[in-house]
Structure 1
């Protein structure tokens, strides 16, 4: 069960970045780099590879910084007029007219008091289209760290499965985001677009490789990091057995959050407005598949980013890229990525495969004239995204699911759904008559995978011997250490 958000929580009263860092040997100043530094791109790559956070500053001094656009008065006229806000004292969400929210922020004390009942934080809000356009088309923020940029694999998901990761955050001092990791080992980016009256944000971040230690430490304290329900105190961080990287983010500063970095953000002073987005790298997909998804299954956290589907569609994309490129030196990078994706997809297949697949019910058939979307199906117990295999009961549905007599006809995928992992752990429906179902035709999946192997062979002549062809030898799907869940 999620632990309750404590009250009073945390306050930035009397905080000083230097004093905080000097107060404990495991506290370290976050690396900062100016946007014009010649080593910028190399440093971004190095910090993500090492799993340490980085701040890129000075964007508000860039000649193309849109000062009139990144402005609260512009938002008052053109932004979401009824944003959803969270009261950080009772964790309740509500909507409020934007002018009223701005007035509340400007008239409230920047420091929470034990007596106050309300302190509102606008989080996970829609980003204005004009802001999105500047980010993606302005040519200012490096493409490597942009959503749908050159290193964002989420762009390979089909339109029906696209995930909106670009969000806006608006708040005053002593509003916060609890200690957490970004979804599915994605990489986080957070740009402070506006501030007034000295508004800033304190960031507390861990190294990516310390994630298991961090999670284990907070388990001992009775908290689950992956439920985003605990606000850590400075004293808890001082006594923690891991390093903490700390920064005070100000206007025009972009914070880069490595995959699996556990972090907490506490706003300080006057109003701050930040825009934040996630992207998924190939390494992030690997970490998500092998490390994060098992955790989500354990804590029953919905996956959101459709990792297995992302691997499948990314493999399809790079197959076409390699097929259409002459086998010369420039093919090395896409071929290397494709090979890594094939290995990832092989593990996905091993988890989802059954030799009896042809006799099972299928949502999609080879004869279907139009492609069917499976993107809305997830496990009704743990929240896992369903890529290929699941168990379903069309009888054990709550009465609220029946809107009419016609709706009593339950189509495949619309019933009570359990992922294979939940089913083999003993979970089932009330009647106990769940049936195995397949999304796609397995032979088609094997052919797509083997097409990728053939594309690799244009670059590596022995790749077929190393990877094999599953459509010719379906039993090879199951390695010696994996077995079907059906």
Structure 2
């Protein structure tokens, strides 16, 4: 490692041909795990499920009179888990307690923690500059570049529009000048042995290792809040670039509700409103809302498939989408014809199928479910009754599943898939298509000039033309307006209007961009009543078929194409887009502070915060306890109890 570390200088650190050896994702030794467990509060440690005795740093030995610990009638301690991954059966958990050993020149590109989880990273050892085994060493440390969670949208747009990379792919280490020029705040921290780094969910960060040796242990935690962010933000982004979903988020929701329900049933009725139980109920309600959304997405209401058309398989949590590699909780589609070696079936999640992803058969897929629907809905009603018993809110917020379905006002994922399988044609992969036969015959024929085939008759009977690109397409590849006779291909909607196929398919009555007066085609731009839509983000385009199962096709949208042409047509105001993202992020954050009654001592505008950061530690925005390190003022105003372990028991 001294030889590897000594080769790097400030002039050659970008050289791709120099050797780097970064030992990543090494299983943590049990001895290290046991020692760290004595130092880290249980609520922050790996796979914490139940309250545990803790006498490590910061633990209180004598309880204060105003602190109480919830107990069940049987004396069992009640507290919410620190890591909801622990609620899964052991065989379903992702092993993410890992060691990292690096030297000068090794790094981790800018990225966000997987599935919007919370990251924990502690440096346990590093070279100190002394002579080891007869060789001089350099002091080891790691430089962290960290952003705030609220800035995730502007960070992603800056990465794509300015740096030319997608942060979801994790393939770019930004240089100092890029961070300096960024429109968002960047926190820079040097981590040394003993320093414990906490990474917020969806906060982009990158790490550069320095010196001869750094040794770190890292793990991730999943909470009810991170599950919400994972299902609504992180997983859709991961699906676009086909990243593995290691954490089985929907299964965590299901099994966490089981665990919370058992705990709440044991709560002593004499003290049902203690602080620990209140925190438990808050998580239970959020998890229940996520579970409701999962069941609604898998619900049928109109013309459901017949029971004989649905295959039942036992749930083992290991079925993944053949295209995006996301974990599948219950219902999905499988192809009876595309079976590879070793009975390797082609399984596609509902989200991917709606996007036009599938095997080459495209249609005639078979429904599969892993739970009996009556079991899932029965547990939903049981947990709903528990919530109604513990809350004074009797509104429709906790209505029954059929009532929620009636209030939805749009098609569910399962309904869209069932409808699209009727619209999309079936391509028999066991037989060569007519086009393939014609192409083969043309190779053997003499090279004679042929008349170009006309598609006019086909358009009138079976298809139409896209209002934007004017390409002739079959009707199943077009979104048709319910208020006029225009159709738009899904690729044009995606690139020119940031509209995913699902957004049009889930509407019972869809209004096209021209009817909304936002169409940006050349003809509509000449209409003075039109307000042409300007894309809000940069789409670089990814050839996901290189990552997906080889049997895969994209039948609706070619995701390899970027939207740069549409950005240029709209004026390509890169600075304006970044500024708009930053303003939206600050506005959402300020609103959240107001909603949670959190007051700060100075305005949260970016320019004011940056100005104060340049003054020194005496300026507002700097904690007296941390010297010159800028601290998010919202954190200073929060109840600091989450940093202090309770009396011998983890919160």
TM-score of the pair, normalised by structure 2: 0.53
Distance 1:422 1:465, change over 3 A: closer
Return the alpha-carbon distance in structure 1 between the equivalents of residues 305 and 258 of structure 2: 22
Distance 1:105 1:250, change over 3 A: same
Aligned to 2:140: 199
Return the alpha-carbon distance in structure 2 between the equivalents of residues 291 and 165 of structure 1: 21
Aligned to 1:183: 114
Return the alpha-carbon distance in structure 1 between the equivalents of residues 111 and 289 of structure 2: 29
CA contact (8 A) 1:350 1:477 kept: no
Distance 1:202 1:115, change over 3 A: closer
Task: Count the aligned residue pairs.
Answer: 362
Aligned to 1:344: 290
Distance 1:214 1:239, change over 3 A: same
Question: Which runs of no fewer than 5 residues in structure 2 stay unpaired?
Answer: 49-80, 130-138, 419-651
Return the alpha-carbon distance in structure 2 between the equivalents of residues 203 and 165 of structure 1: 20
Aligned Cα root-mean-square deviation (Å)? 2.2
Distance 1:379 1:458, change over 3 A: same
1:416 aligns with 2:317: no
Aligned to 2:209: 267
Aligned to 1:354: 300
Q: CA deviation at 1:460?
A: 2.0
Return the alpha-carbon distance in structure 2 between the equivalents of residues 165 and 482 of structure 1: 37
CA contact (8 A) 1:148 1:154 kept: yes
User: What secondary structure, in the 3-state scheme, does the structure 2 residue paired with 1:392 have?
Assistant: strand
Aligned to 1:426: 356
1:122 aligns with 2:23: yes
Return the alpha-carbon distance in structure 1 between the equivalents of residues 251 and 355 of structure 2: 23
Aligned to 1:4: none
Return the alpha-carbon distance in structure 2 between the equivalents of residues 260 and 240 of structure 1: 17
CA contact (8 A) 1:177 1:264 kept: yes
CA contact (8 A) 1:357 1:442 kept: no
Return the alpha-carbon distance in structure 2 between the equivalents of residues 478 and 375 of structure 1: 31
Return the alpha-carbon distance in structure 1 between the equivalents of residues 357 and 5 of structure 2: 51
Deviations 1:308-347 (A, max 9, x none): 1111111111111112213411232222211111111111
CA contact (8 A) 2:109 2:206 kept: yes
Aligned to 1:301: 243
User: What secondary structure, in the 3-state scheme, does the structure 2 residue paired with 1:226 have?
Assistant: coil
User: What secondary structure, in the 3-state scheme, does the structure 2 residue paired with 1:428 have?
Assistant: strand
Aligned to 2:226: 284
Return the alpha-carbon distance in structure 1 between the equivalents of residues 213 and 18 of structure 2: 19
Distance 1:357 1:440, change over 3 A: farther
Question: Which runs of no fewer than 5 residues in structure 1 stay unpaired?
Answer: 1-101, 365-371, 403-409
Q: CA deviation at 1:354?
A: 2.1
Superposed, 1:49-448 pairs within 5 Å as: 105=4, 114=15, 116-136=17-37, 138=38, 140-149=39-48, 150-196=81-127, 197=129, 198-220=139-161, 221-327=163-269, 328-330=272-274, 331-355=277-301, 356=304, 359=307, 360-364=309-313, 372-398=314-340, 401-402=341-342, 410=343, 415-432=345-362, 433-448=364-379
CA contact (8 A) 1:188 1:257 kept: yes
Return the alpha-carbon distance in structure 2 between the equivalents of residues 217 and 152 of structure 1: 32
CA contact (8 A) 2:5 2:105 kept: no
CA contact (8 A) 1:357 1:438 kept: no
Return the alpha-carbon distance in structure 2 between the equivalents of residues 478 and 438 of structure 1: 25
CA contact (8 A) 1:349 1:477 kept: no
Distance 1:394 1:133, change over 3 A: farther
TM-score of the pair, normalised by structure 1: 0.70
Q: CA deviation at 1:394?
A: 3.6
Moved runs in structure 1, 4+ residues, more than 6 A?
none
Return the alpha-carbon distance in structure 1 between the equivalents of residues 5 and 160 of structure 2: 38
CA contact (8 A) 1:195 1:271 kept: yes
Deviations 1:400-425 (A, max 9, x none): x23xxxxxxx4xxx510111111122
Distance 1:426 1:397, change over 3 A: same
Return the alpha-carbon distance in structure 2 between the equivalents of residues 186 and 240 of structure 1: 25
CA contact (8 A) 1:322 1:456 kept: no
